[in-house]
Copies of this chain bind each other. A is one copy, B any other.
């Protein structure tokens, strides 16, 4: 079975199941919000009043672990919805959502979401499928973190970032993460990430330019990520 951690993030457009009337209902009740870099949409433990669909930009999703160290669980891509777990289960948020750059979201109040789930089974089904997708990814991440070495995980995360966010015209991955962020994805020390990136760089598998990363030898990185 191929793991799914390394697969690019993809999104089910859960709203495609809506009737025109329902789409209008969403439109009439949604609120557009803008977040600047480092701004927080909601915090782990807080009550939230609706769901957030990302329309532009990127967010990191994390939990707070030992000694307040954040553990990054996921990233968003445009189209992603966040907060629906908390809303539908009527529980406090179990993760924090923080903007990585200037980003926009559309906020849709809980009542609307409940109304849609209650009246549109296709919408409910898509929501279940989206959750299952996330669960599958989480399970793969567990397996990876538990079994792979730090070097393998760094390689894997590079591929995932590459495939999820794409590259600019020079081939650099379209995301601005600190070394610390990367270490908080794979659960290791910042220095370890730095050393491994430097190592890949010196072997020319990747090119580093401050926070920008270009993958030169995709196949090689792939092999490393698969413990070969």
Which residues of A line the B interface, CB within 8 A?
1, 3-4, 44-45, 63-67, 69, 71, 73, 85, 88-89, 92, 94-95, 117-119, 121, 124-125, 127-129, 131-136, 138-148, 186-188, 227
Contacts and interface: CB of A to CB of B under 8 A. Distances in A.
A45 to B, nearest CB: 5
Contacts of A89: 128-129, 132-133
B143 A63 contact: yes
A186 B85 CA distance: 26
Contact of A117 (B44, B128, B139, B147): B128
Contacts of A134: 135
Contacts of A45: 1
Q: What are the 6 tightest A-B residue pairs by CB atom distance, in nearest-first order?
A: A146-B187, A138-B138, A124-B124, A85-B132, A71-B143, A131-B131
Given A121-B124, A124-B124, A132 B187 contact: no
B64 A94 contact: no
A73 B142 contact: yes
A119 B94 CA distance: 30
Contacts of A186: 146
26 contacts: A1-B45, A1-B92, A63-B139, A63-B140, A63-B143, A65-B146, A67-B227, A69-B147, A71-B146, A73-B139, A88-B125, A88-B129, A89-B128, A89-B129, A89-B133, A117-B128, A118-B121, A124-B124, A131-B135, A141-B142, A142-B142, A142-B187, A145-B145, A145-B187, A146-B187, A147-B187
A194 B146 CA distance: 18
Nearest to A184: B146
A203 B102 CA distance: 54
Given A65-B146, A145-B145, A186-B146, A94 B124 contact: no
Contact of A121 (B121, B143, B146, B187): B121
Nearest to A90: B129
